[in-house]
């Protein structure tokens, strides 16, 4: 890239701001300064911002209607050139803003030179980037809705599929697969809420803050804010051009969301391993091994598990860039876009892959149920039975059941297959009725407390979630 590294004036003077310079920038100066390879992605927002600005300038009489019409026509032509791939983005023009403005001047001449009145790239980029980030938050929220819908379908299919519930990844109590998936529906709902909150908080329009101090022209900031879908104009010009907390907050929401995705991804990795065998991923979401013909690898799940690295890394990058920056704009802030784009690209990919994996997976009811029987998972049910039916204090019941588990362990049987007389040898008050609570099905069916794992609860929750999602869609 830097073939002529260090050459003074290796490039032509900047046509947009070169007036006070005798020479163009060194090649390396251009390379470190240019952001167009990254920020060209903001072209739609940049054109929208320029349209709104031109219309407002005409409405308040700073430019004529004829000038505004010429500018709008020129911007339309630029849009179609970019869409067709005919637009040449030049690093000599640094960024998307100056590329667009320079091309506008090429196309429409004099009126194009009036567009930058009462505006700076500082408020321009802040506006464009807020609009982009607002859209990214909306996109993430929609993608989360699709993931939730896929989870609900599988929760329905597994509403009474009994699986082991774990603490410490040790078998704890039986739960239903549906209930387990609904836990993620809850997490992803909070993630959606966080994207919504972030988008709402960032929805003040920086345009019109100009370089940092506002402008002497009689601009109408309410008009541009409204045209661009903002709630209103940002109230302090210095804050408007120098805050990037909106992008950091959006990436914080993305980081947390990626963390939730990674937990589900890790469960898929576990569940698809032959040791668990609880679910099978579709061929479309599995990969083979180049050496081991039998392999069926959950690569997408592993990559989803890894995704917080990229996303939280991007967030950390921007937090670190912003730390200690004095007001107002500084070029450091140009580093904001690459990481934010990368974070949301990664999140979009992870959400889509996770949605596909969930949508297509097959539940292996038998393997789940067999695993749920391991580890004396209904021991708490036995203790609860002693409390409820025999009036035994819970702490005492806990001790009795400990001895019953030890007896079952010696015999190598599950609790519901331990002969009654062996239980009675430990506690004489135990009766035949105890077997009604010792199966894994009985255990989950009994967990009817609000938020519990009983299949009836799960079905009600699925219905309630479907209503909520339809309302939000
Ligand atoms: N490309 C710049 C950025 O992304 C636009 C703002 C430049 N402003 C300036 N005063 N140099 O931050």
The DSSP secondary structure of 15-26, one letter per residue, reads: TTTGGG-SS---
Spatial CA neighbour of 51 closest among 79, 86, 93, 90: 79
Give residue 125 CA to ligand 1 midpoint distance, Å: 7
Residues 322 and 96: their CA atoms lie apart, in Å, by 22
Residue with tokens 């004829």: 66
ω before 328 within 30° of 0 (cis)? yes
Residue 2 confidence (pLDDT) above 50: no
List 273, 282, 289, 436, catalytic entry: 289
**Per-residue confidence (pLDDT) for residue 8, from 0 to 100:** 54
Pick the residue whose CA is nearest to atom 10 on ligand 1: 122
Residue with tokens 């001449």: 109
Residues 307 and 301: their CA atoms lie apart, in Å, by 10
Distances in Å between the Cα of 36 and the Cα atoms of 30, 91, 134, 247 are 11, 6, 21, 19
Give residue 329 CA to ligand 1 midpoint distance, Å: 8
- Give yes or no for residue 122 CB within 6 A of ligand 1: yes
Distances in Å between the Cα of 218 and the Cα atoms of 111, 236, 299 are 19, 17, 58
Kindly state the DSSP code that residue 41 receives in the 8-state scheme.
G
Runs of H (alpha helix) within 273-328: 299-322
* 168 classed as catalytic: yes
Give residue 135 CA to ligand 1 midpoint distance, Å: 21
Q: Tabulate helix, strand, coil % of the chain (nearest 5).
A: 65, 5, 30
Residue 370's contacts (CB-CB under 8 Å, 6 or more residues apart) are none
Pick the residue whose CA is nearest to atom 11 on ligand 1: 331
Give residue 331 CA to ligand 1 midpoint distance, Å: 6
pLDDT over 70 percentage in the chain? 98
Q: Which residues of 332-349 are buried (b: 16+ CB within 10 A; e: fewer)?
A: ebbbbbbbbbbbbebbeb
- Give yes or no for residue 328 CB within 6 A of ligand 1: no
Distances in Å between the Cα of 61 and the Cα atoms of 52, 67, 90, 217, 234 are 14, 11, 33, 10, 23
Runs of H (alpha helix) within 243-298: 245-272
Spatial CA neighbour of 129 closest among 384, 338, 280, 306: 338
**Per-residue confidence (pLDDT) for residue 9, from 0 to 100:** 57
Q: At 205, which helix (H) or strand (E)?
A: strand 204-205
Reported confidence tier of residue 295, pLDDT bands at 50, 70, 90: confident
Structure tokens at 295: 């392999």
Taking the alpha carbons at both ends of the chain, their separation in whole angstroms is 47
Structure tokens at 366: 């038998």
- Top-confidence residue, 15 or 456: 456
Give residue 190 CA to ligand 1 midpoint distance, Å: 34
Helical pair 177-201 and 121-157, crossing angle rounded to 10 deg: 160
pLDDT over 90 percentage in the chain? 90
E runs forming strands in 54-177:
162-167, 170-176
Q: At 280, which helix (H) or strand (E)?
A: strand 279-280
Per-residue pLDDT tens over the stretch 346-380: 999 999 999 999 999 999 999 999 999 988 999 99
Best of 35, 39, 119, 121 to mutate for ligand 1, by most ligand atoms within 8 A of CB? 121
Per-residue pLDDT tens over the stretch 3-59: 444 455 567 788 888 888 888 889 999 999 999 999 999 999 999 999 999 999 999
Per-residue pLDDT tens over the stretch 297-328: 999 999 999 999 999 999 999 999 999 999 99
Residues 405 and 59: their CA atoms lie apart, in Å, by 82
- Give yes or no for residue 67 CB within 6 A of ligand 1: no
Q: Which atom of ligand 1 is nearest to the CA of 96?
A: 1
- Give yes or no for residue 132 CB within 6 A of ligand 1: no
Reported confidence tier of residue 294, pLDDT bands at 50, 70, 90: confident
Spatial CA neighbour of 39 closest among 89, 74, 103: 89
- Give yes or no for residue 70 CB within 6 A of ligand 1: no
* 243 classed as catalytic: no
Bridge pairing between strands 279-280 and 362-363: antiparallel
- Give yes or no for residue 221 CB within 6 A of ligand 1: no
What are φ and ψ of residue 227, in 5° steps? -60, -30
CA 167 centroid distance within chain: 27
């Amino acid at each position: 890239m830097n073939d002529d590294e260090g050459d003074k004036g290796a490039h032509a003077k900047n046509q947009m701001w070169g007036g006070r310079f005798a020479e163009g920038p060194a090649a390396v100066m251009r390379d470190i300064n240019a952001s167009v390879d990254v920020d060209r992605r903001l072209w739609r927002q940049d054109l929208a911002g320029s349209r709104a600005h031109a219309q407002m300038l005409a409405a308040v009489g700073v430019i004529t209607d004829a000038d505004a019409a010429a500018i709008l026509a020129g911007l339309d032509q630029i849009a179609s050139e970019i869409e067709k791939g005919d637009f040449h983005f030049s690093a000599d023009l640094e960024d998307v803003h100056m590329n667009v403005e320079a091309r506008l001047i090429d196309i429409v001449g004099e009126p194009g030179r009036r567009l930058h009145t009462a505006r700076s790239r500082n408020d321009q980029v802040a506006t464009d980037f807020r609009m982009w980030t607002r859209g990214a938050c909306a996109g993430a929220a929609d993608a989360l809705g699709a993931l939730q819908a896929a989870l609900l379908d599988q929760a329905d299919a597994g509403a009474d599929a009994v699986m082991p519930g774990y603490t410490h990844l040790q078998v704890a109590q039986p739960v239903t697969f549906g209930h387990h998936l609904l836990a993620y529906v809850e997490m992803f709902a909070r993630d959606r809420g966080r994207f919504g909150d972030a988008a709402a908080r960032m929805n003040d329009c920086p345009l019109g803050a100009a370089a940092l101090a506002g402008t002497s022209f009689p601009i109408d900031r309410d008009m541009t804010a409204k045209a661009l879908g903002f709630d209103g104009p940002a109230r302090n010009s210095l804050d408007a051009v120098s805050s990037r907390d909106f992008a950091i907050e959006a990436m914080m929401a993305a980081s947390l969301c990626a963390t939730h995705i990674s937990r589900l991804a890790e469960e898929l990795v576990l569940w698809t391993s032959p040791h668990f065998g609880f679910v099978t991923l579709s061929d479309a979401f599995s990969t083979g091994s180049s050496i081991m013909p039998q392999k069926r690898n959950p690569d997408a799940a592993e990559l989803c598990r890894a995704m917080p690295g990229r996303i939280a890394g991007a967030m950390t990058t921007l937090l670190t860039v912003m730390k200690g920056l004095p007001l107002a704009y500084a070029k450091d802030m140009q580093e904001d876009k690459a990481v934010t784009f990368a974070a949301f690209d990664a999140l979009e990919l992870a959400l889509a892959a996770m949605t596909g994996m969930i949508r297509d997976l097959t539940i292996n009811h038998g393997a789940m149920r067999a695993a749920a029987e391991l580890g004396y998972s209904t021991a708490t049910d036995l203790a609860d039975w002693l409390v409820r039916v025999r009036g035994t204090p819970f702490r005492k019941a806990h001790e009795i059941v400990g001895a019953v588990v030890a007896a079952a362990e010696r015999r190598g049987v599950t609790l519901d297959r331990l002969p009654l007389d062996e239980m009675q040898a430990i506690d004489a008050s135990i009766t035949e009725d105890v077997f009604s609570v010792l199966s894994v099905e009985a255990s989950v069916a009994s967990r009817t407390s609000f938020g519990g794992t009983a299949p009836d609860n799960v079905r009600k929750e699925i219905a309630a979630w479907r209503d909520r999602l339809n309302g939000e869609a």
